[in-house]
Structures are given as C-alpha cells and as structure tokens.
Structure 1
C-alpha cells in the first residue's frame, strides 16, 4: 500500500486498530478488513465527474496521461466484501482481485466516444497534473506483505504480522491531539512515526533508539 497521503495513511492506521481489536480476545465480534480499489459509480468515482464534464462540452480533466487505477462494479464489490466477512475468523486483512489496472486517460476517451463525440476533436482532454500525494500507480499492498490464496479465486489474504497497538497507543494519543488542533505538520509527523512506509517528505520518523516516547507537542 505504501501510503503517500493522509487518506492512505489513515486507512492503514485503521487497519492496525481493527486488527488489534480482533486479537484482543475480549469481544464476541469478529473484526476483519477488506482492501480493494475503486468502485465504478460510487460517490468517489471519477466516472460521474467525466460524464458531467462531457455533458457540459468539456474539457475532460485527467491528472496525468499515464495514471492508472483498479476498478470494480458495485455488485461485485458488495458480494466479495460479504464473502470475505463470512470467511474471516478475526484479524485478517483480505484483498480483492481487481484484475488489470485501467488507464484513466483511455477511460476518458472511451466515455467521450460512448457519448457520441470524438476525443480531442469534439471534447478536449486536459491534463491538469498529479495532486500532492497522488500516485501514478495504485498499490494495494506494501513490499513487506505477502499475499496468500484463499478458497475463493477473487479473495486473497495478507500474511502479515499483527501489530501491538499498545506500544503505539501514546503515538495515537498524540495523533488525536494534533488532529484536534488541526496541526497538519504534526499529523504527518505522527503518522510517519506509526507508519515507516508512509512517504512523507520533510518529516522524519520520531521512532529512534534514543527516543522511546513520542515528542510532546506544544499547547
């Protein structure tokens, strides 16, 4: 996964908390996590935006000509999430088979053609550049995570070590404090302390052999 922005880092931290909750053993509820890519037609999907831009006569805005993403239909995503939940014994992180990644620029061109127009003739495509923390290629796992097959062809499980959240509890407390204060720099620092794989330029991890406790924030 290698998060490069706050959204991706917060998702990974949430996975850690859910996994720890399941491993705690003091609840009858089974907690599992399911990772997957984009869902076509969902609230955050780019397709409704493209359709609106085409309806308005363009331009259709794409961040980068080489950007690619994974996509899945809503019914398939819902079914696989329910099946993964039924398979889980507690603490697993499941990952859905998303198929081949789709180039967003080509998707935009196809939507323009399906709407009865010619790309770059009737409707222009405008490249606006990647936003801060946005990747060209979507990653659903880190280099340190191993994927293990399950009995379902489209559902895999990550073979990763469980996280001792109690060690990280002080860092979570400082992260919450930074969030309440809307201190963006501190939020990135504490996320980096919790997640070494979080690529946060300019903010070094606060984990070190000399400092076992997180730094104290100024009030």
Structure 2
C-alpha cells in the first residue's frame, strides 16, 4: 500500500477526533501496489527501458517485511464511521486474568518457581514486558 504523508496524517488526525478511547482504527489505503510494477512504471515514466537502461534487482524480504499485509484477523469485524476511509476494528476482548493466574499457579506448584523466577519467565516469554525490577535496574544504570 502506498499513501502520501499528508494523506496518512489527515486520516490519523481525523481518527483522533473520532476516538472515545480504546478504539482500533483501520484505514482504507486503497488497492495493494506491487513494488515491481511500480518500479517498471517509474522507469518508463522517466523515458527509460526496464531491464535495459535500469536493471531491477530482486533482493528478497528484509526482516519485518511481508509479501501480504493482513490488516484484520478472521475473528475481527469492522464498523464503518462517518469517514469512508476510516473504519473501527471490533475485537472481542478476552479476560485472560484467570488463565494467567492459572499459569502462575502451575509455575509455582508444578515447577516450584519462586515469584522472582515467575517474573523472569514472563520477561522471557513476552519481550515487551517490563517488570518493576527491570524499570528499577534501567533507572539505576542511567544514574551511573
């Protein structure tokens, strides 16, 4: 998908005004554009010949790149807004509290992990998770 920076900024600002808190906005970005087709068109628009004047080199995917961008999962539905290019994703929110508490109990009872070891386990499992211990260590390192 390709959008100009002004287009993207306009949609973000409009969605921000629509928000009541907690919504997940999905933008209509138009039709997918194949990079190879775009490269060929740009070369031709420059008055040159693809493959002859300018070689197109296929380098493969870089880390984080995808061949297909899936904006919503099969379980997610979209709700229209007054703006034709802005939709709201409707996600069924699960309450994972009971499940997480059961996992913690299993880690303690079955595997004999201490509270510190349980926290360490979650830090490994969810790299984005920052425990109070990590936050404290980070602030101490900045002071030194």
Counterpart selection for 2:75 from 141, 144, 164 = 144
The answer for unaligned runs of 5 or more in structure 1 is: 1-69, 178-185, 195-219
What corresponds to 1:105 in structure 2? Answer: 36
- Give the structure-2-normalised TM-score: 0.64
Which has more strand, going by share of residues? 1
- What's 1:116 paired with? 47
Secondary structure of 1:72's aligned partner: coil
**1:146 to 1:176, Cα distance in 2 relative to 1, 3 A:** same
- Structure index of larger Rg: 2
Q: CA deviation at 1:116?
A: 2.9
Which runs of at least 4 in structure 1 moved beyond 4 Å after TM superposition?
163-168, 173-177
Q: Equivalences for 1:53-68 in 2 at 5 Å?
A: none
Distance change >3 Å, CA 165–CA 80, structure 1 → 2: farther
| Structure 2 unaligned spans of 5+ | 105-118, 130-144
**Do the aligned partners of residues 163 and 90 (structure 1) sit closer, same or farther apart at CA in structure 2, a change above 3 Å counting?**
farther
For 2:3, what is the secondary structure of its paired residue?
Answer: strand
- Tell me the secondary structure at the aligned position of residue 41 of structure 2: helix
Find the residue that maps to 1:147 and give its secondary structure. Answer: strand
Query: Aligned match of 1:157 in 78, 81, 88?
Result: 88
Greater RCO between the two (CA within 8 Å, min separation 6)?
Answer: 1
SS in 1 for 2:49: coil
Counterpart CA distance in 2 for 1:154 and 1:82 is 13
Matched, 1:128 2:64: no
The reply to whether residue 79 of structure 1 matches residue 10 of structure 2 is yes
* Residue 115 of structure 1: how far off its partner (Å): 2.6
- Structure number with the higher helix fraction is 2
| 1:94 equivalent in alignment to 2:25 | yes
